[in-house]
Structure 1
Amino acid sequence: MGDAELKKVFEEYAAFGRPGQTKDITSKNFTKLFKEKGLIDSKKLNGTEVDMIFTRAKGGPANKVLTFAQFQKALVMAGKSKYGEESEANTEKIKSKILSGAGPSTANTTGTSKVGGVDRMTDTSKYTGSHKERFDESGKGKGLEGRKDLTKNTGYVGNYKEEGTYDKKH
């Protein structure tokens, strides 16, 4: 198996969530790679063991990421953990699993909305209560009139029916 294909998979996972970062891989993306390629099991190579392999391969507490060379060392350690002994055959099994399948998955994540934000926010059929009063039937905002209860300062009480008729009577 060629290192070129392995490096391509490494770079895909290294750049996942970090656009343009293909030289090194984070612990989160390293674990994501192992999960999505079906290498993690409940007995020998579990999530904790993958984290420990990452820590041993990175070479000291100052490093937070793995380079491609360190990644290859980590695959040897993973072969030993999963299959019981450190051998070229076990490392090749790990590599073949990593090369199988597709790249990083975005399953179980929230997608982006295809509908424009303004259309969604001005659709009065989805508004309830007093918020419904902020827009007219066409979806156009009413401005201040839709946000505040405006009172008329005419001197008459609210329910007086004959407003404006005083001058006509006297």
Structure 2
Amino acid sequence: MEEKRYRAIMDEIQALMDEVQRQRNEFRNELRVLATCLDNNRQYQASDSTNEDELVDVLGEGEEQMSAQEATNDVKDEVKETKPEDETKPEEQKEDEKELKKEESREESREESKDEGGSRTPSTSATPEPRGQENGDDAPGTPKQLTLREQFRNFSKFGDIKSDGKLLTLSQSDKWFKQAKVIDGKSITTTDTAITFNKLKTKKITFVEFEKYLDEIAKSKKLDVKDIKTKLRECGAPGTSGTTSVVKSSAVDRLTDTKKFTGSHKLRFDSTGRGRGIAGRRDVNDGSGYVTGYKNKNTYDKTH
């Protein structure tokens, strides 16, 4: 719209300039005609009044030509004043177009990422990744759901500091099953898991063997192996629920405070409450020759 307006103004200016040029040419022609007339009138000695009237007419036409020229100059000044604004507007339009292109590219990248997240196929292993991990849209503040392989690694290390997380024992498997409530004492018992585990003829099994182990249990008990795997995935990290908890009371604190011990029991601990070992349980004879309670032991100067 601004470009069309600018072109229309330029066309009007060009038309005015053409009109001025035409009027100038006519003015010149008229001056020439008048000059020839004056020469002729001089020959005939025309009256002064006629000459003055002609000069007035010529001056009037000259003033009209000057007013037309001033009008064109005013139009040019207006165009010059409006031209920077018209020139800046296309630049602003260019910036707007750049921003629109950036937004479109961002939207396209988001759509592509969504398409990629939706078009991902599950891995060929028997342990599919959780949906939250595939799409990367875990809700903030919610715990990350572990995969079956990660749970296998965690429970294989539970209670065994030397384990590398690749092998699982029967006791660790039963601990996992009990925490996931797969072993409920009715549908599946520890006897069932022991019989199935012994069929593998090994004391520790790998993750591939563990999947076969689950398939065998589900088949023998006529259960859905997917439900068992879901419970094992969602049971959480290995815990110590059900174990004996430490009792905290004033009576226990008083009985375990070594500063309040008396008699021979007091001699078994140092001032920091740490045990003295054999020195606190046996009376060791001092064969150094010093009297009991002597404070300047081993201070004698051997040079005397």
What is the TM-score of this pair, normalised by structure 1?
Answer: 0.60
Match of 2:159 among 17, 25, 42: 17
Q: Which amino acid aligns with 2:177?
A: F
User: Structure 1 CA distance, aligned partners of 2:231 and 2:257?
Assistant: 50
Match of 1:29?
A: 172
**Cα pair 1:16 1:29 within 8 Å, conserved:** yes
CA RMSD of aligned residues (A): 3.4
Higher Cα Rg, which structure: 2
User: Structure 2 CA distance, aligned partners of 1:43 and 1:28?
Assistant: 19
Match of 1:104 among 238, 242, 253: 238
Q: Which amino acid aligns with 1:77?
A: E
The 5 Å alignment of 1:121-136 reads: 123-125=258-260, 127-132=261-266, 134=267
Match of 2:218 among 62, 73, 79: 79
Q: Post-superposition shift, 1:78?
A: 2.2
User: Structure 1 CA distance, aligned partners of 2:258 and 2:185?
Assistant: 49
User: Structure 1 CA distance, aligned partners of 2:271 and 2:186?
Assistant: 59
Matched, 1:65 2:200: no
Match of 1:139?
A: 271
**Cα pair 1:16 1:104 within 8 Å, conserved:** yes
Deviation by residue 1:1-28 (Cα, 9 ceiling, x = unmatched): 5168111111111111223421110111
> What count of residue pairs does the alignment treat as equivalent?
125
Identical counterparts, % of pairs: 29
What is the TM-score of this pair, normalised by structure 2?
Answer: 0.35
Following TM superposition, the consecutive aligned residue runs of length 4 or more in structure 1 with deviations greater than 6 angstroms are: none
Q: Post-superposition shift, 1:104?
A: 1.0
Q: The residue matched to 2:186 in structure 1 has which SS?
A: coil
Match of 1:8 among 150, 163, 172: 150
Deviation by residue 1:77-100 (Cα, 9 ceiling, x = unmatched): 222244x25xxxx11011101011
User: Which one has a larger percent helix, Structure 1 or Structure 2?
Assistant: 2
Shift of the 36–130 alpha-carbon distance from structure 1 to 2, 3 Å rule, reads same
